[in-house]
Amino acid sequence: MEEPLRAIAEPRRQQILRLLGDKEMASGEIAGHFNVSRPAISQHLQILKAAGLVSERRLGTRRLYQVRSEALAELKAFLDQFWEGALSSLSEAAEAEQRRLDNDRTSSQ
């Protein structure tokens, strides 16, 4: 799970994933959406590919990239376990604070 997390830590790679969404795009097409060189975009795509987040296929001289939905689902499931724990902790803290406030109100009456 470390490699996909490292890959998405870079904001431009996050933008590439959002751009790809559920469609397939050529590297040149992707590069057209950014103010960086095509080789820089190709490098980002290679990192995303190595992390298993995108797939690549050749069509003639073009390289087409597509998000690997199953890889993103795995990444989401991994991150969700932390999110759920954080929400649970937040909920418990809010309930404890509410009990404290309720006790303070009844004590001061």
Instruction: Write down the pLDDT at residue 109.
Output: 67
Beta-ladder partners of 62: 59
| pTM score, whole prediction | 0.75
> What is the domain partition of the chain in residue ranges?
2-70
Which sign, positive or negative, has the C-alpha torsion 49, 51, 54, 57? positive
| H/E element, 60 | none
**Mean of the pLDDT values across residues 44-60?**
97
From residue 18, give the alpha-carbon distance in Å to each of 11, 15, 95.
Answer: 11, 5, 37
Provide the pLDDT confidence category of residue 107 given band limits of 50, 70 and 90. confident
CATH topology for 2-70 is: Arc Repressor Mutant, subunit A (1.10.10)
Tokens of 27: 């590297």
Beta-ladder partners of 58: 63
